[in-house]
Amino acid sequence: MFSPAVLDHFQNPRNAGELPGATTVVEATNPVCGDILRLAVRVENGRIAEARFQTRGCVTSIACSSLLTELLAGRLLAEADAITPQLIGERLGGLEPSTRHAAQLARDAVEALLAQAR
């Protein structure tokens, strides 16, 4: 049911936890399933120097959150808008229709991040 990449990010999440010195912290929620993603980033000179997450949710939500932090790190804020649910799903080896909400949750966090950072 889950791709090897989803399982890897779930079992070995990257950048999980709090981020001391975060310049922006946002939260995205999915009211249908109850998943919550808290995303913290440290921006230096318009570039995301570091990103961390805390997610309460399903296997795929945790995996998407983990991948999101990897996709954000090192990008200019303006480049973060290119992170779409489709890109997240592709990088995780494809998502089942019933789990695609997790990639949208990650995208919602990116939108909140960009709105707050502007």
| CATH code of the domain covering residue 68 | 3.90.1010.10
In this prediction the pTM is 0.95
Is pLDDT above 90 for 19? yes
49-79 pLDDT, tens digit per residue, is 999 999 999 999 999 999 999 999 999 999 9
Checking if the pLDDT of 31 tops 90, the result is no
Q: What average pLDDT does the segment 82-101 reach?
A: 96
DSSP state of 104: H
Statement: residue 118 has pLDDT above 80:
no
Total domain count for the chain?
Answer: 1
Query: By residue range, what is the domain housing residue 97?
Result: 4-117
Give pLDDT, residue 8.
98
Q: Where does the pLDDT of residue 91 fall: very low under 50, low under 70, confident under 90, or very high at 90 and above?
A: very high
Long-range CB pairs of 34-42 (<8 Å, 24+ gap) are: 35/61, 35/101, 35/102, 35/105, 37/61, 37/65, 37/105, 37/106, 37/108, 37/109, 39/65, 39/68, 39/69, 39/109, 39/112, 39/113, 41/72, 41/113
100: three-class secondary structure by DSSP: coil
pLDDT level of residue 33 (50, 70, 90 thresholds): confident
